[in-house]
Amino acid sequence: MSQRLIRLAATVAGLLGLFVVAGAPTASAAPAPPHARTGATGPALPAPTGDRPVGARLLHLKDTSRPDPWKPDTAFRELMVTVWYPALRPSGREAPFMSPQLSAAAFGTEALAGVRTHATLDAAPLPGRRPLVVLSPGFGMSRVSQTALAEDLASKGYLVAAVDHTYEAVVEFPGGRLTPCLNCTGQGGPDVVRSRVKDIRFLLGRLTGPGSAFPVDPCRIAVVGHGIGGSSAVEVAGEDRRVTAAVNMEGTFVTPPPGPLTKPVLLMGAQWPTAGGTPAPNWADRWSGFAAWKRWLSVPTAGHMSFSDAHWLYEHVDLTKVIPPHLVPAMFGTVSGERATEITRAYAGAFLDLQLRGVPSPLLDAPAPAFPEVGFVSP
């Protein structure tokens, strides 16, 4: 991704963070927000393709080992996480996409509170240890922006944990407290990646350590991210022995390579119309440093946001006041949001099945007739 495109992503992140509200700290707890809307009547996210019902649980975590990097006067870093998992049966309490308050603060409209999900809150989990997938969202984006992918993976037996990187998006904590996007006016530089790596490593410790409520298989862990969350996924794979594999969707690398990476990596990118048809040029600089299994997939008709729920949401909810028309080609390309979701799920899922379950897929070997939009890049 060129510097021009980094600035474009930062512009969108800034737009998403225009409506911010600050609040005071509250005690650690993670019930569903009391004002969260259930029984939503708006458009439903694309349905999961697996055969298990999906449960969802919210976690409010505090990392007391470090102050917050974006608000250093705080004594600790706190994070909100959603965990999706295969359930025995639905609980009967629909998991909200987001609350009206968060929707209004982040997007200037409550419309996203009406979006329907396919998970139910605190459903009884299916017994057994699960491979874990950690999701890190794009710059300025909420963890809910990867809900469609998370629900799909959970319906196929994965444990999926999406983390909000506090002060890099508008984040809602228990009791309805909102923290602003303090970093949305900047750019996703090395400090952001380093902070996210620490967030993810802390989360891994909580999910795999003593007292975890989730049955994680510690030998089968992947990190998947969009935008700077994708570059952070690759960085944490290089730093943390617990991580088996990483997926980078549209994330420019902003830190120098620490050395050869001997873990599998999947790169999924768009060809931005504003970049002269050149997909993420600095991926080529890193390519030779990936010393294990690797693939670079390009979707020329996609845009930067096509690998998140933002593309689908733009087509189903009026967000024209958030994303101006002149940014639409770079953000969404020409592929539909429904198809972009299908592509993301198919290829990320195939990679995770191969690396965490040992199940091969022809999708990863050569161009597939079922997905003519997807090309293989060989730098």
CATH of the domain at 179: 3.40.50.1820
pLDDT tens, position by position, 126-164 = 999 999 999 999 999 999 999 999 999 999 999 999 999
How many domains would you assign to the chain?
1
pLDDT tens, position by position, 164-177 = 999 999 999 999 99
pLDDT tens, position by position, 273-289 = 444 445 455 898 899 99
Between strands 119-121 and 177-179, the pairing is unpaired
Q: What proportions of the chain, in percent to the nearest 5, are helix, strand and coil?
A: 35, 20, 45
- Phi/psi of residue 8, each to 5°? -65, -45
pLDDT tens, position by position, 111-123 = 999 999 999 999 9
Domain that holds residue 345: 3-376
Mean pLDDT, all residues of the chain: 88
